[in-house]
């Protein structure tokens, strides 16, 4: 991919105008990309159909159109010098259309791989010969015949739709062939991946930024805790994960990015699993062609955030190796916090009440990031809280206090 360097305030395709970066998608990841780009002097454009989208509300321009709207895409091309995406379900065809006349990173081809779990698994298997990290044992189910041919040793397993699954959606745990057949029927018999259920000990992720010149900058490995398939807590400090497994995860992520000739910020998620005899191993799970929730800590704990890295990769600027200067945790803030304790989705009509931010921010090293969403509801991602400190012990202690104040599950020992 050829990419000229787009310096802020520098020469533009439209002579005499400020260099402008565009983003497909107006959610919180787009918002934080826009904030990073504006801090570096770029003009920004967001394409998102929601008139109240978090990124659209703060961008210089907001094109209110569907992601495949021809006129909207034409406006984006007219206004921008380079374009990225903030989530993987933007139509790959739309990115290909944009790439005909503008720099687009990541490419439509890379996003298309991330949009399809079957293609994603195949890519991971190709990279395993280099990285030594494979996906979980699995099979693809597309027909009744392939359902009947599922090997017995893949059960119990997790049935996942190949497309449009995220935050635990489109996934069903199955133990028997009868449950598998019923689950596939409930999913309308769309193409699915059946993964063998493994003995999970931990989850982690790695974020890398890769430039068009092949330069790769890797962030530290993040240990992640999920509740109901949604990221709840990220821990990034010495001792959070086994050092050997962390090194393998970083090397695997670099191999995955290089094999795709990827340009931009990429997150790859891994499982730490227990094998027979108690030994721990690493399994690659899935990738996100964008910044990731687990990388939010970089805003306050690193000298280069994942969003600045996204701007640099898109604009063709140098990618320095990020330096983590503080141990850190990240607490995901869902809309449940705005409602009474134990609120359920059925109770979402209750009047929301702002969480006790003053008590949280009175604690040392707390950094609140809210996304500017106009309405809270249970399960909705409303913001995150980064916690930094001079020592791991201090960060863990403050994190435990934050969780207690917010009424969230306690930190594991």
Q: Look at residue 228 in the predicted model and tell me its pLDDT.
A: 85
48/27 Cα distance (integer angstroms):
9
**Are residues 252 and 359 located together in one domain of the fold?**
yes
**Bond preceding residue 156 cis, omega within 30 of 0:** yes
**Are residues 188 and 204 located together in one domain of the fold?**
no
120 part of a folded domain: no
CATH number at residue 397: 3.30.470.20
Q: Look at residue 4 in the predicted model and tell me its pLDDT.
A: 73
**Are residues 159 and 192 located together in one domain of the fold?**
yes
The total of structural domains in the chain comes to 3
**Are residues 91 and 64 located together in one domain of the fold?**
yes
- pTM for the predicted model, two decimal places: 0.93
59 part of a folded domain: yes
65 part of a folded domain: yes
**Residue matched to tokens 């996204």:** 310
Q: What is the DSSP letter of 152?
A: G
Could you tell me the mean pLDDT of each successive run of 10 residues in the chain, 413 residues long?
Answer: 71 61 98 98 97 97 97 97 94 97 97 95 93 94 95 94 73 93 93 94 97 97 93 96 96 96 98 90 96 98 98 96 97 92 53 93 98 92 98 98 94 71
**Are residues 217 and 190 located together in one domain of the fold?**
no
361 part of a folded domain: yes
**Are residues 246 and 330 located together in one domain of the fold?**
yes
175/273 Cα distance (integer angstroms):
19
2 part of a folded domain: no
**Are residues 267 and 303 located together in one domain of the fold?**
yes
250/92 Cα distance (integer angstroms):
27
Pairing of strands 366-370, 43-47: unpaired
For 357, the token pair is 């931010």
**Are residues 297 and 339 located together in one domain of the fold?**
yes
**Residue matched to tokens 């974020």:** 207
Q: What residue numbers bound the domain in which 361 lies?
A: 200-406
CATH number at residue 90: 3.40.50.20
330 part of a folded domain: yes
Give the end of a domain, one of 174, 196, 218. Answer: 196
CATH number at residue 188: 3.30.1490.20
First-last CA distance in the chain: 46
Q: Comparing C-alpha atoms, which of 373, 354, 367 is closest to residue 402?
A: 367
Q: What is the DSSP letter of 303?
A: S
**Are residues 331 and 282 located together in one domain of the fold?**
yes
For 400, the token pair is 């435990």
Give the end of a domain, one of 104, 126, 160. Answer: 104
**Are residues 273 and 157 located together in one domain of the fold?**
no
Q: Look at residue 164 in the predicted model and tell me its pLDDT.
A: 74
**Is residue 115 within 8 Å of residue 163, measured between CB atoms?**
yes
12 part of a folded domain: no
Q: Look at residue 278 in the predicted model and tell me its pLDDT.
A: 85
158 part of a folded domain: yes
**Are residues 273 and 219 located together in one domain of the fold?**
yes
Q: Look at residue 386 in the predicted model and tell me its pLDDT.
A: 98
**Are residues 172 and 226 located together in one domain of the fold?**
no
- The 10s digit of each residue's pLDDT in 283-335 is 999 999 999 999 999 999 999 999 999 999 999 999 999 999 999 999 999 99
């Amino acid at each position: 991919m050829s990419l000229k360097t787009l310096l802020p305030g520098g020469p533009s395709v439209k002579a005499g105008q400020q260099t402008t970066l565009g983003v497909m998608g107006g959610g919180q990841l787009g918002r934080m990309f826009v904030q990073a780009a504006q801090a570096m002097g770029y003009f920004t454009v967001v394409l998102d159909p929601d008139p109240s989208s978090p990124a659209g509300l703060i961008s210089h321009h907001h094109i209110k159109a569907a992601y495949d709207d021809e006129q909207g895409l034409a406006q984006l091309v007219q206004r921008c010098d380079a374009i990225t995406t903030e989530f993987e379900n933007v139509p790959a065809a739309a990115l290909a259309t944009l790439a005909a006349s503008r720099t687009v990173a990541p490419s439509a081809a890379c996003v298309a791989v991330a949009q399809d779990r079957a293609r994603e698994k195949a890519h991971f298997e190709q990279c395993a010969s280099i990285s030594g990290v494979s996906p979980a044992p699995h099979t693809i189910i597309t027909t009744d015949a392939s359902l009947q041919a599922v090997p017995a040793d893949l059960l119990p397993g997790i049935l996942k739709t190949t497309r449009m699954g995220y935050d635990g959606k489109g996934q069903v745990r199955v133990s028997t062939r009868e449950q598998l057949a019923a689950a596939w029927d409930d999913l309308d018999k769309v193409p699915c991946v059946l993964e063998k259920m493994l003995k999970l000990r931990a989850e982690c992720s790695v974020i890398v930024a890769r430039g068009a010149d092949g330069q790769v900058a890797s962030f530290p490995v993040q240990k992640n805790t999920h509740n109901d398939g949604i990221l709840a807590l990220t821990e990034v400090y010495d001792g959070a994960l086994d050092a050997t497994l962390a090194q393998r995860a970083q090397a695997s992520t670099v191999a995955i990015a290089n094999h795709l000739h990827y340009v931009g910020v990429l997150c790859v998620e891994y499982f730490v699993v227990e094998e027979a005899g108690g030994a721990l191993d690493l399994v690659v799970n899935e990738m996100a062609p964008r910044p990731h929730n687990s990388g939010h800590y970089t805003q306050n704990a690193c000298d280069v955030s994942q969003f600045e890295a996204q701007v640099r990769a898109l604009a063709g600027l140098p990618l320095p190796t990020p330096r983590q200067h503080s141990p850190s945790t990240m607490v995901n803030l869902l809309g449940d916090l705005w409602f009474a304790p134990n609120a359920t989705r059925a109770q979402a009509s209750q009047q929301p009440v702002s969480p006790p931010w003053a008590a949280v921010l009175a604690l040392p090293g707390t950094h609140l990031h809210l996304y500017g969403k106009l309405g809270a509801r249970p399960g909705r991602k409303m913001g995150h809280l980064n916690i930094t400190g001079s020592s791991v012990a201090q960060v863990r202690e403050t994190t435990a206090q934050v969780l207690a104040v917010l009424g969230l599950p306690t930190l594991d020992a």
